[in-house]
Amino acid sequence: MKSDDVFKQIQSASGDIVIRAGAGTGKTTALVMKYLSELSAPREEGYATVDRLCAITFTVKAAGEMSDRVREKLTEKIDELSAEAPIEGSSANLAEDDPQWSEKSRLLAHLVRQRQTLKSAYISTIHSFCARLLWENPVAAGVDPAFVVMDETEAKSLMERAIHKVILEKLRAGAGDVKKLVADYGFSSKGRVEGLKNYILRMIPLIRSANMRLAGLERIHVREINALKQKQKGARSKLKNLVLKLLEFGKASREKKFADALSESPEVIEDGSALDPVTAGKFLKMAEELRKGVQKRKSVIDGKEKGEEAYLAADLTEAVCGHDMEIALLKNSGAMTRLIKEIQNRYEIEKRSAGALDYDDLEEKTRDLLKKSPRTLTAYRKRFYRALIDEFQDTNALQMEIVTLLAPPGEGRLFIVGDTKQSIYGFRGADINVFEKVGAQIVENGGEKFLLTKSRRSTPALVDFTNRYFEALMQDGNGEGKGRRFRFNSDTDRLKPVRPDENDGPAVTRIGTGGEEEGIDKSRLVEACDIADYIKWAVSSGEALVGDSKSGGARPVKFGDIAILLRTFTNHEVYESALRRSGAPYQVVKGRGFYDSQEIKDISNLLSFLDYSADVLAYVSVLRSPLAGLSDSALLTLCVGDKGDRLDPLKFIRPGEQSPLFDLKEDAQRFETFRDRLSQWRAARDRMTISELIETIISQTGYGAVMTSRFNGEQYLANIFKLIELARTFEMDGSRGLKNFVVRLKAMIAREPSEARADISGG
Three-state DSSP class for 758? coil
CA–CA distance, 219 with 327 (Å, rounded to integer): 14
Could you please report the per-residue DSSP string of 366-397?
HHHHHHH-HHHHHHHHHH-SEEEES-GGG--H
Could you please report the per-residue DSSP string of 213-261?
-GGGHHHHHHHHHHHHHHHHHHHHHHHHHHHHHHTTS-TTSHHHHHHHH
Is the predicted pLDDT of residue 1 greater than 60, yes or no? no
- Asked if 555 and 545 touch (Cβ cutoff 8 Å), the reply is yes
CA–CA distance, 28 with 388 (Å, rounded to integer): 11
**Domain spans in the chain, listed from the N-terminal domain onward:** 3-138+360-452, 156-345, 456-502, 516-582, 593-751
CA–CA distance, 447 with 101 (Å, rounded to integer): 36
Three-state DSSP class for 356? strand
- What confidence score (pLDDT) does residue 510 get? 79
Residue 18 phi, psi (nearest 5): -125, 130
The most confident of 201-215, 315-329, 559-573, by mean pLDDT: 559-573
Nearest residue to 404 via CA among 451, 444, 370, 446? 370
- What integer best gives the mean pLDDT of the chain? 82
Could you please report the per-residue DSSP string of 594-613?
HHHSHHHHHHHHHHHHHH-T
* Residue 287, CA atoms < 13 Å, CB-side half-sphere: 27
- What confidence score (pLDDT) does residue 218 get? 61
The most confident of 404-413, 512-521, 536-545, by mean pLDDT: 404-413
Length of the chain: 763
Give Dmax (Cα) for the chain.
102
Is the predicted pLDDT of residue 637 greater than 80, yes or no? yes
- Asked if 283 and 317 touch (Cβ cutoff 8 Å), the reply is yes
Please give, one letter per residue, the 3-state secondary structure of 126-159: HHHHHHHHHHHCHHHHCCCCCCEECCHHHHHHHH
Could you please report the per-residue DSSP string of 662-706?
TT-HHHHHHHHHHHHHHHHHHHHTTTS-HHHHHHHHHHHHTHHHH
**What's the chain's Rg over C-alpha atoms?**
31
pLDDT band at 758 (very low <50, low <70, confident <90, very high): low
CA–CA distance, 258 with 290 (Å, rounded to integer): 7
Distances (CA, A) of 512 to 526, 533, 694: 6, 10, 43
pLDDT band at 345 (very low <50, low <70, confident <90, very high): very high
Which whole number is the average pLDDT over 353-371?
93
Which whole number is the average pLDDT over 710-733?
82
Q: How many other C-beta atoms lie within 10 A of the C-beta of residue 432?
A: 22
- Asked if 628 and 669 touch (Cβ cutoff 8 Å), the reply is no
Kindly give the residue spans of alpha helices, DSSP state H, lying in 298-391: 304-331, 333-354, 359-372, 374-383
Please give, one letter per residue, the 3-state secondary structure of 393-455: HHCCHHHHHHHHHHCCCCCCCEEEEECHHHCCCHHHCCCHHHHHHHHHHHHHCCCEEEEECEE
CA–CA distance, 325 with 225 (Å, rounded to integer): 11
Q: What angle do CA 532, 537, 543 make, to 5 degrees?
A: 140
- What confidence score (pLDDT) does residue 303 get? 42
Three-state DSSP class for 303? coil
The helices-and-strands tally (H runs, E runs) of the chain is: 33, 12
pLDDT band at 242 (very low <50, low <70, confident <90, very high): confident
Higher pLDDT pick, 92 / 734: 734
Which fold, 593-751?
A: PCRA; domain 4 (1.10.486)
Distances (CA, A) of 585 to 168, 509, 539, 568, 578: 49, 22, 12, 21, 11
- Asked if 685 and 696 touch (Cβ cutoff 8 Å), the reply is no
- Asked if 122 and 129 touch (Cβ cutoff 8 Å), the reply is yes
Distances (CA, A) of 394 to 26, 58, 434, 494: 18, 7, 9, 21
Is the predicted pLDDT of residue 370 greater than 70, yes or no? yes
Which of the residue ranges 411-415, 716-720, 751-755 would you say has the lowest mean pLDDT? 751-755
Which of the residue ranges 167-171, 205-209, 238-242, 682-686 would you say has the lowest mean pLDDT? 205-209
The most confident of 44-58, 271-285, 511-525, 576-590, by mean pLDDT: 44-58
- What confidence score (pLDDT) does residue 97 get? 65
CA–CA distance, 221 with 327 (Å, rounded to integer): 9
> What single letter denotes the amino acid at residue 562?
I
- Asked if 675 and 655 touch (Cβ cutoff 8 Å), the reply is yes
Q: At what angle do helices 598-611 and 737-751 cross, to 10 degrees?
A: 140
Which whole number is the average pLDDT over 706-719?
81
pLDDT band at 277 (very low <50, low <70, confident <90, very high): low
Is the predicted pLDDT of residue 696 greater than 70, yes or no? yes
- What confidence score (pLDDT) does residue 223 get? 76
- Asked if 630 and 624 touch (Cβ cutoff 8 Å), the reply is yes
Classify the phi-psi angles of 583: left when phi > 0, otherwise alpha if psi is within -120 to 50, otherwise beta: left
Is the predicted pLDDT of residue 91 greater than 60, yes or no? no
- Asked if 239 and 345 touch (Cβ cutoff 8 Å), the reply is no
CA–CA distance, 346 with 339 (Å, rounded to integer): 11
Higher pLDDT pick, 538 / 748: 538
Q: At what angle do helices 196-209 and 359-372 cross, to 10 degrees?
A: 30
Is the predicted pLDDT of residue 299 greater than 50, yes or no? no
In sequence order, what are the beta bridge partners of 356? 148
Is the predicted pLDDT of residue 124 greater than 90, yes or no? yes
Q: What angle do CA 201, 204, 206 make, to 5 degrees?
A: 110
Is the predicted pLDDT of residue 205 greater than 70, yes or no? yes
In sequence order, what are the beta bridge partners of 388? 55, 415
Which whole number is the average pLDDT over 433-443?
92
Which whole number is the average pLDDT over 54-77?
92
| Residue 82, Cβ density class (10 Å: 0-12 exposed, 13-18 middle, ≥19 buried) | middle
Which whole number is the average pLDDT over 263-292?
76
Is the predicted pLDDT of residue 63 greater than 80, yes or no? yes
- Asked if 630 and 667 touch (Cβ cutoff 8 Å), the reply is yes
- What confidence score (pLDDT) does residue 762 get? 46
Q: What percent of the chain has pLDDT over 70?
A: 83
Which whole number is the average pLDDT over 579-592?
77
Which fold, 3-138+360-452?
A: Rossmann fold (3.40.50)
CA–CA distance, 97 with 95 (Å, rounded to integer): 7
- Residue ranges with strand state E in 430-568: 448-452, 454-455, 496-497, 545-547, 554-556
- Asked if 562 and 538 touch (Cβ cutoff 8 Å), the reply is yes
Q: Convert the pLDDT of each residue in 453-474 to its tens digit.
A: 898 888 888 888 888 888 887 7
Q: Are strands 448-452 and 454-455 parallel, antiparallel or unpaired?
A: unpaired
- Asked if 726 and 749 touch (Cβ cutoff 8 Å), the reply is no
Residue 170 phi, psi (nearest 5): -65, -40
- What confidence score (pLDDT) does residue 285 get? 80
Which of the residue ranges 185-194, 260-269, 430-439, 499-508 would you say has the lowest mean pLDDT? 185-194
Residues with Cβ within 8 Å of 539's Cβ and at least 6 positions away in sequence, in order, are 556, 557, 558, 559, 562, 584
